Chain A
Amino acid sequence: MYNLVLKKFESHKKMRILVAIKRVQDYNVKVRPKSDGSDVDIDGIKMGINPFDENALEEALRLREKELATEITVVSIGDSKNEDVLRHGLAMGANRAILIESEEYLQPLGVAKVLKGLVEKEKPDLILLGKLALDSDAGQTGQMLAGLLNYPQGTFVSKIEINNNKLIVTREIDGGTNILEMNVPAVLTADLRLNEPRFVKLPNLMMARKKTIEKVKASELASDTSTNIELLEVSVPPSRKAGIKVSSAKELLQKLKDNEGIKL
C-alpha cells in the first residue's frame, strides 16, 4: 500500500521552469530613428516586459498552481535597467530572478548562446520564452536555443497540457494549428492566445523590490556572443499618404472604379 502511494507521487514529475524575458518598448510607443540614422532612439520611452514573454511567465505560474511545477526562474539579459522587468516577474510570482549582465545589445544567436550556458548550469526541465520580441521582431531565440541544446521545440504555442510527464502543445501553423507531443527538457515559445497574464498587485511589487536578483556575467556563460551582422542605418519607412475623403458610399464606389480600375 505504501509503495503504491509512493509510486503515485513519482509518476508526477514536478518541473523546474526557466522563463526568459526581454525588456522592450511599450507596444503603443512609436519608436523613431536617431537624427543621424545610426540606431533607434529609445531614450526616455516607456519600457516594459515583452508581451509574449509575459504570456510565457503566466503559463509557468499556472503550471505551478496546478502543482506541475515547483520552481520558476525568470532571466533577462542586459544592463541594470533590466532589473525592472525581473522585479515585475518576481511580483507576478516567479521564485527567482537572474540578470545576465551584458554591456552589448545581443542578437538572437548571441542570446541563445548565453541562455544555453545558463540552461547547462541550472538544468531546468522546461524553458519558456515569448514567440517574438516587439523591438527586433526576429522571433528566433527559442528555436535557436532548442537547436543549440538539441532539445525538442514547440513554437507559437497557444495551449500546453501535460500528460504522463509529456508536454502536449497546440501551436500555430500556416492556415491552422497542430498538436505536438514531446518529453522534457524542451523549449516552448508562447503566443498571445496562450493565456491572459495576471495583473501585478502593488503589495507584490513592493515585496519584489526587496528580493535579491542573482547576477551572472554573459561572458561566463558563453565565450563568443558576436554575430556577423552589422547595422548600417535605420530610417523611417515611406509611409502611406492620406488620400481623400469621400462623402458617400456611392462616391466611394465611383472613385474606386474611375481612379483605381477596381469595380466591385
Chain B
Amino acid sequence: MFKVISAAKSWDGEIDLLIMGKNTADVAQNAAKIKDLSSIIRLDGNHLEHLLAEDAAKIVEMLSDSYQVILAAHSWFSRNFLPRVAAILNVSLITDVLKIENNNVYTRSIYAGNVHAKIHSKDPIQLLTIHTSLFDACAKDGGGAKVIKKDSPAPMNLTSWKSEKINKSDRPALIDAKIVISGGRSLGSEENFDKVLSPLVDEVGAALGATRAAVDAGYAPNEIQVGQTGVVVAPELYMAVGVSGANQHVYGMKDSRVVVAINNDPDATIFQFADYGLVADLFDAIPEINKLIKE
C-alpha cells in the first residue's frame, strides 16, 4: 500500500485511499496518518467482509467519476476485480507496471520478463497495478487525511462466498521476506525438500520458496512457487538451491538484491543470474552452511 501511494505521486494532484470491508473505521483512522494522502474513502458493509469481485468493481465504478488515476498493488486481490472495472469503464488496465514516466507512459514486462514494453495510454482514466518491489514506500505517518464514509451500493449477489483457507506459517511471507531460500527439483523428494532446507530456512529466518518443477513434482505446495506462474519476490538475499534457472523461475526472483546459487551442475543457467555461485552437491553444502552459521 505504501509503495502504491508513492507510485501515485508520479502524478500531480490529491491522492485518496479507498478502503472496503466490514467495520473499516479503525483501519481508516490508522490510514489517515499516512503522509501524502488527502482523504480516506471508506465503505462498510456486511457483504464486503469477504470482498467479491462483482461488488468491488461496482464500488470502484461508482467512485470513478472523481478520479483520473486508479492504482493498486499487483496482487491476486487486484488482478481479480480491476479488469472487471476496466471493462465496465471501457478503458484498458495496465498490469504489473515496472516504471511510470510523464504523460502516462509505462514500462511493463511481457513474454515471461524476456521483453520490456514501453506503452502510452490515452485513456481518460488510467487504471494500473504496480510491481511494488520496484517502488519505494511512502512515509507511514506525519499525514492528516480526512476520513469520508460513503454508502456502499447494494450487493450484486452474483456469487456467494463460502469459505477461505489462509496458509498459516511461522515463517515470514514470501512476498515480504528479507531472505528467500528456494529449492528445485534436485531436492528429489518432498521429504528431502523439508529435511534439507527447513533447518537453514528457520536458522536464518527466511521464507521457503520452490520452483515450478519442484511443485509439479509434488515436493512443495504451490503457494510457495516462485516465478511467472507463482509469486514474484525481491528480497535482500535469494538463495536458489538445486535450481536450474528456467525462464519462468528467473522472472520471479531476478529483482532480488543478492542472488546465491548452489547447484552441482557448473553449466546450470541459474549461475548466469547469481552474484555468488557455489558448484556443490546441495545435500552436503546446505547442512554445512547451516553448521557454519551456528558456529
Contacts and interface: CB of A to CB of B under 8 A. Distances in A.
A164 B45 CA distance: 29
Interface in B243-294: 247-248, 254, 257-260, 271-280, 285, 288-289, 292-293
A85 B82 CA distance: 29
A236 B278 CA distance: 28
A155 B237 contact: no
Contacts of A245: 271, 276-279
Contacts of A262: 236-237, 258
Nearest to B256: A240
A180 B109 contact: no
A245 B167 CA distance: 36
Contacts of B66: none
B167 A244 contact: no
A260 B259 CA distance: 11
Interface stretch (A7-15, A29-37, A70-78, A88-96): A29-37
A102 interface: no
| Overall SS of chain B's interface | mixed
A229 B92 contact: yes
Contacts of B222: 193
A101 to B, nearest CB: 23
A202 B95 CA distance: 39
Contacts of A28: 247
Contacts of B248: 27
Contacts of B164: 173, 176-179
Contacts of B145: none
A109 B279 contact: no
B169 to A, nearest CB: 9
Interface string A174-196: 11111111100000000011000
Contacts of A107: 92
Contacts of A134: 111-112, 228
B278 A246 contact: yes
A243 B277 contact: yes
A25 B111 contact: yes
| Overall SS of chain A's interface | mixed
A227 B121 CA distance: 9
B259 A174 contact: no
A235 B114 CA distance: 9
B272 A179 contact: no
B158 A182 contact: yes
Contact of A235 (B105, B116, B278): B116
B162 to A, nearest CB: 4
Given A31-B114, A182-B160, A240-B273, A173 B86 contact: no
A30 B85 CA distance: 32
Interface stretch (A59-67, A117-125, A207-215, A247-255): A247-255
Nearest to B57: A147
A228 interface: yes
15 contacts: A30-B247, A40-B115, A140-B86, A142-B83, A148-B87, A152-B54, A168-B162, A178-B163, A232-B105, A242-B271, A245-B279, A246-B276, A252-B260, A264-B204, A264-B289
